[in-house]
Amino acid sequence: MHASNPLTNSLANSLDIAVVTETFPPEINGVAMTIGRLVGGLRERGHRVRVIRPRQGQADADSEHELALPGFPLPGYPGLRFGLPAGRRLRKEWHPRRPDLVHVVTEGPLGWSAVNAARQLGIPVTSGFHTNFDRYSVHYGLGWMRPAVAAYLRTLHRRTRATMVPTAALAADLAGEGLSGVRVVGRGVDTQLFDPQRRSSELRASWAAPDAAPVCLYVGRMAPEKNLQLVERAFEAIIRQHPLATMVWVGDGPAAKQLASDHPDHRFAGMRTGTDLAAHYASADLFLFPSLTETYGNVVAEAMASGLPVLAYRSAAAAELIVDGENGRLVPPGDEVGYVELAVGMVAATLNRERLGVAARQSMLAHRWSVVVERFEAVVREALGKG
């Protein structure tokens, strides 16, 4: 009896998957990074994956692996684009060479037309729930639209065979709203890139931060829905007791210019990627994450993998990854007074803060992207078996 060849088995079981997304690397955001990792991991496992997305620039051209379609800028998010409806083009693409499955990442016009086109052709469809756009509406003066936006999002996912989400809490929320087929896939983190060993005295010196002085860090989009005024309040309380403390902001967005104007004594590093971003995490002493609108929050995992203690609300990724008092600190959602008090206390308790950082790093070593890709594949195969 001959032993089976793993490579032959992999090729025999490989799938042809069309991934439809409004955002994809080199764009910089959590969804783009996540989908980039998933697509790369699926290809490494022998699957054929073609990404369908809005055109990112004039020189953007189609390839065997990517199809770039017309799009338009998302208001307030100049770096992101909505894809235009493309049902006719997608049917033309998929009719002669049908993918085994279409996975829709985002709920914009392109995503909706992909669901419609796939269903018309009888191609199985799955979806991902990555962004709480309905919660965002409140922060842009459009709170009255929240029920309509929520209904819009849920309707799309009800038309797919499975909806993949990053956390068990989000899965429970969506299931409670009557959405069936919700599956927890999770998110991974690159523990080789995000590593405490990347701490840099030179970088801290560029912030005018002495080795013994505490550095507080925020990484992410600078926008109203991120609750950044709580970071401002927390650091104001910290600086009163620790005058040598430094606040570093990494990222960009519509609130960046005002923040820099309001706080000339803070350090604004702009967008950072790769080892440069990893060094910013590892060179800080406390990560302040105040958001309540995340479906996950990749920056929490990146900070923890970098050995950086995180202070966050008990929500999204923080609720899944942090055991309060063991590898980070959590406060109940909305408890701003408690958040500020804990921030001050964490800066003061140097040894405890360092202990939390070591435990945070250890706890993230099990969150490999390869495991997430395997879960994604399992959900896809389950969806294909539904008939």
* DSSP one-letter string for 334-367: T-HHHHHHHHHHHHH-HHHHHHHHHHHHHHHTT-
Q: What is the pLDDT of residues 106-164, one digit of tens each?
A: 888 899 999 999 999 999 999 998 764 434 434 344 443 444 555 667 788 899 999 99
Beta strand 329-331 with 310-313: parallel, antiparallel or unpaired?
parallel
SS3 97: coil
Whole-number pLDDT of residue 202 = 96
Domain covering 6-188+368-384, topology? Rossmann fold (3.40.50)
**From the candidate CATH numbers 3.10.350.10, 3.40.50.2000, 3.30.70.2170, 3.30.300.30, the one assigned to the domain spanning 196-364:** 3.40.50.2000
Handedness of CA 134, 317, 332, 354 (dihedral sign): negative
Q: In the predicted model, is pLDDT for residue 225 greater than 60?
A: yes
- Say how far residue 208 (Cα) sits from the centre of its chain: 31
Q: Is the pLDDT of residue 387 over 60?
A: no
Predicted confidence at residue 363, as pLDDT, reads 97
pLDDT per position as a tens digit, 331-375: 999 999 999 999 999 999 999 999 999 999 999 999 999 999 999
Tell me: pLDDT of 6 over 50. Answer: no
- The whole-model pTM stands at 0.85
Segments of the chain assigned to CATH 3.40.50.2000: 6-188+368-384, 196-364
Share of the chain above pLDDT 70, in %: 88
pLDDT at 152: 67
| CA distances (Å), origin 351, targets 69, 271, 341, 348 | 53, 31, 18, 9
DSSP E strands in 108-253: the ranges are 125-128, 163-165, 182-184, 215-219, 246-250
Q: What is the DSSP letter of 37?
A: H
- Mean per-residue pLDDT, 92-98: 94
